[in-house]
């Protein structure tokens, strides 16, 4: 993780305009859900996982950071100097969720077009294709590309002009596990070259072993940002361990454990316990238990959210169903 800050976003906000037709004004719009007062510091070479449920505002925030949506509130700065939207766009490479590249155009023509839009050389555009593994398919038409190839092309376009920050919106959607693994390795190597990466997902597991820090977004607000450990600690999260044994733990031993979950099947006994029992493994081995699983269980997104918001699982679920990016606190009074 780098100490140098690539970009700083201070109290940024944006609210979508929702059609609200009235008989006297059929084009009337009102302000709806959006992003509210988000402060985010992006260190150089760090991979940040932006995590939130559907409708939390991840895509909106990423679009703001990429300069697609205006910063209605707050500002973006670098080294204390405020950035105008065009400067912001030139520093950020954006990869949207599942672009359906389709036309008779070839990869070469597409990259050339975006090199012109980006203002970078054609040679650098071709070099990027080598990075994303499309160099051998440079003269293939977009129609012939698989979904994985299309994702790679989107990443290639985002990498044009050597951006300092790479913004990826649900990049793993539609990719098979092999492609996801290759993609993660590619992102890691980019981060090691000093490119900061902001990556959104609604699955924490997808970000495993990839991100340095996690930013937790809910209802348009950034609830927490830090390493998984620091988040767990700051949110008062107990670390959990899952163990699967061949038989039941005797009461004398289980009394000293805080068992959170216990599932008993014919062949195995699965426990989820609070971590922090240093002698437990040794004790189980001494008593000839067959241990088929022993792993630290990462908190799920819903658990992190419950912990961060103080809401219970059912209430959070209702929120997600209503897909409400409505801020937890009101922004500047009235809706309209």
Residues that bind other proteins (CB under 8 A): 63, 66-69, 86-87, 89-90, 92-103, 105, 109, 112-114, 116-119, 154, 157-158, 161
Q: Which residues contact 83 (CB under 8 A, 6 or more apart)?
A: 7, 75, 76, 77, 91
Taking the complex as a whole, the smallest distance from the CB of residue 235 to other proteins amounts, in Å, to 33
Taking the complex as a whole, the smallest distance from the CB of residue 218 to other proteins amounts, in Å, to 23
| CA dist., res. 186 & res. 180, Å (int) | 10
Of 109 and 227, CB closest to other proteins? 109
Closest CA to 17 of 336, 278, 282: 336
Using an 8 Å Cβ cutoff, are 138 and 107 in contact? Answer: yes
Closest CA to 306 of 236, 233, 207: 236
Of 119 and 250, CB closest to other proteins? 119
Of 89 and 277, CB closest to other proteins? 89
Taking the complex as a whole, the smallest distance from the CB of residue 238 to other proteins amounts, in Å, to 40
Taking the complex as a whole, the smallest distance from the CB of residue 96 to other proteins amounts, in Å, to 4
Using an 8 Å Cβ cutoff, are 35 and 329 in contact? Answer: no
Taking the complex as a whole, the smallest distance from the CB of residue 79 to other proteins amounts, in Å, to 19
CA 131 to chain centroid, in Å, comes to 22
Q: Is 94 left (phi over 0), alpha (psi -120 to 50) or beta?
A: beta
Of 73 and 212, CB closest to other proteins? 73
Of 69 and 320, CB closest to other proteins? 69
Of 87 and 253, CB closest to other proteins? 87
Q: Per 3-state DSSP, what percentage of the chain is helix, strand, and coil (rounded to 5)?
A: 35, 30, 35
Taking the complex as a whole, the smallest distance from the CB of residue 14 to other proteins amounts, in Å, to 10
């Amino acid at each position: 993780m780098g100490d140098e800050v690539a970009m700083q976003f201070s109290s940024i906000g944006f609210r979508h305009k929702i059609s609200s037709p009235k008989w006297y004004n059929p084009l009337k719009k009102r302000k709806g859900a959006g992003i509210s007062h988000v402060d985010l510091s992006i260190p150089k070479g760090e991979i940040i996982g932006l995590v939130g449920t559907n409708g939390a505002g991840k895509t909106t925030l990423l679009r703001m950071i990429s300069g697609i949506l205006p910063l209605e509130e707050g500002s973006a700065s670098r080294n204390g100097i405020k950035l105008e939207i065009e400067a912001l766009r030139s520093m950020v490479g954006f990869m949207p969720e599942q672009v359906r590249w389709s036309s008779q155009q070839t990869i070469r023509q597409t990259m050339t077009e975006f090199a012109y839009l980006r203002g970078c050389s054609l040679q650098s555009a071709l070099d990027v294709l080598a990075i994303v593994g499309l160099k051998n398919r440079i003269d293939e038409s977009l129609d012939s590309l698989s979904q994985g190839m299309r994702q790679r092309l989107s990443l290639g376009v985002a990498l044009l002009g050597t951006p300092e920050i790479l913004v990826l919106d649900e990049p793993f959607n539609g990719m098979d596990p092999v492609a996801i693994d290759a993609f993660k390795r590619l992102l890691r190597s980019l981060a090691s070259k000093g490119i900061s990466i902001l990556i959104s997902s609604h699955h924490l597991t997808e970000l495993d072993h990839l991100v340095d820090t996690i930013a937790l977004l809910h209802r348009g607000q950034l609830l927490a940002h830090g390493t998984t450990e620091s988040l767990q600690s700051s949110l008062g999260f107990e670390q959990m361990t899952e163990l699967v044994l061949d038989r039941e733990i005797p009461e004398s031993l289980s009394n000293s454990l805080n068992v959170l979950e216990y599932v008993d099947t014919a062949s195995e006994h699965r426990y989820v316990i609070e971590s922090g029992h240093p002698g437990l493994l040794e004790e189980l081995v001494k008593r000839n238990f067959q241990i088929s699983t022993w792993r630290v269980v990462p908190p799920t997104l819903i658990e992190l959210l419950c912990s961060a918001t103080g809401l219970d699982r059912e209430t959070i679920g209702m929120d997600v169903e209503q897909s409400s990016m409505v801020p937890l606190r009101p922004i500047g009074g009235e809706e309209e």
